[in-house]
Amino acid sequence: MGLRGIVSLFRLKFSIPSIVPGLVAFIIARYHYGVFFTEDFLIAMLVVFLVTSSGLIINQYHDYELDVASNRTDLPLVGGEVSLKTAKLLGYGLFIPAILLAALISIRAVGITLTASFFAIAYSAPPLRFKARPFVDSFTNGLTYGPLVMTLVFESLHLPPERALVYSLPFFVFLSTGHMLLAVPTIEKDLSLGARTSAAFLGQERAIAVGIFLFTLSSLMAVIYCLIGYYPMASLSFLPFMVYSILQLWRWLQGGEWKEAFRRMEVSFLFGALAFLLPFF
């Protein structure tokens, strides 16, 4: 067992981006309330990283047998770089500093962190194992990385957390949809392993069609938020990029290559996010 194996358990390509919704929440808070970076905000970002990392490690621990069956030797547990015992201790143990750090912010922050921790565990661990329950998997993923993260950030900035819930609703729909669509290419593999995800339950065509509808819904929600002043009017410039992304889903639905659709959507989402966020400054 080496440091490299331990670090790879954290799946940094997923755990680091988990703070992005928190940064978006800060940008929205600064736009409405004129706040600045605080120690509590930085602590909140560290809490998000720790809880996300815990969830990712626990996911690898509970998926070990499935990953072995899939020959996922790229993962540290399957590759033998880290023992199952170490992964279990690290995965569940990281919740302790996360909760202690949240206590430095407020009691309410502890409650938010405990809720996020519950979802992080229940996503992979039996008996709940949300990831194998259609719609619950994507719903809880979007809830955790959208409203819960943004609420924690507002709490760390001493702002009304209920406002974060309102501002985060379009992101909740967007993130839940993205989670479902990412599982579409692995439907057959998931079904063979007994993982009944939202995408597996719906099937490829219906999952893509639902994805088109929900991405359209999240875009309409964002448009309404711009019109009523929750977001800057200039943030409507994200729309062409979102329309382009939805067209990629349509082409995929019509028989296009999913890898090409995902590649184009990733680029479009990046530019769309910039177009959306820049007017906040």
Q: How confident is the model at residue 2 (pLDDT cuts 50, 70, 90)?
A: confident
Whether 207 maps to a domain, the answer reads: yes
Total tally of structural domains belonging to the chain: 2
| Same domain assignment for residues 79 and 190 | no
CA 277, CA 248: separation in Å to the nearest integer? Answer: 23
pLDDT of 1 reads 61
| Same domain assignment for residues 25 and 147 | yes
| Same domain assignment for residues 193 and 102 | no
Whether 176 maps to a domain, the answer reads: no
Whether 195 maps to a domain, the answer reads: yes
Provide CB contacts within 8 A for 140, sequence distance 6+: 119, 122, 123, 130
Does residue 225 sit in helix, strand or coil? Answer: helix
Which of 109, 124, 158 is at the close of a domain? 158
| Same domain assignment for residues 37 and 144 | yes
Whether 222 maps to a domain, the answer reads: yes
Whether 177 maps to a domain, the answer reads: no
Q: How confident is the model at residue 131 (pLDDT cuts 50, 70, 90)?
A: very high
Whether 19 maps to a domain, the answer reads: yes
| Same domain assignment for residues 39 and 149 | yes
Span 50-72, pLDDT tens digits = 999 999 999 999 999 988 887 88
| Same domain assignment for residues 32 and 151 | yes
179-187 CB contacts, 8 Å cutoff, 24+ apart:
179/137, 179/138, 179/141, 179/142, 180/137, 180/138, 180/207, 180/210, 180/211, 181/207, 181/208, 181/211, 181/249, 183/137, 183/207, 184/208, 184/211, 184/258, 185/258
Whether 20 maps to a domain, the answer reads: yes
User: Residue 273 sits in which domain range?
Assistant: 183-281
| Same domain assignment for residues 34 and 151 | yes
CA distances from 279 to 146, 159, 237 (A): 21, 21, 9
| Same domain assignment for residues 146 and 231 | no
pLDDT (mean) for 120-128: 95
Whether 281 maps to a domain, the answer reads: yes
Span 20-42, pLDDT tens digits = 999 999 999 999 999 999 999 99
Provide CB contacts within 8 A for 47, sequence distance 6+: 98, 101, 102, 109, 113, 152
| Same domain assignment for residues 192 and 150 | no
The CATH number of whichever domain residue 77 belongs to comes to 1.10.357.140
Indicate the average pLDDT of the chain: 95
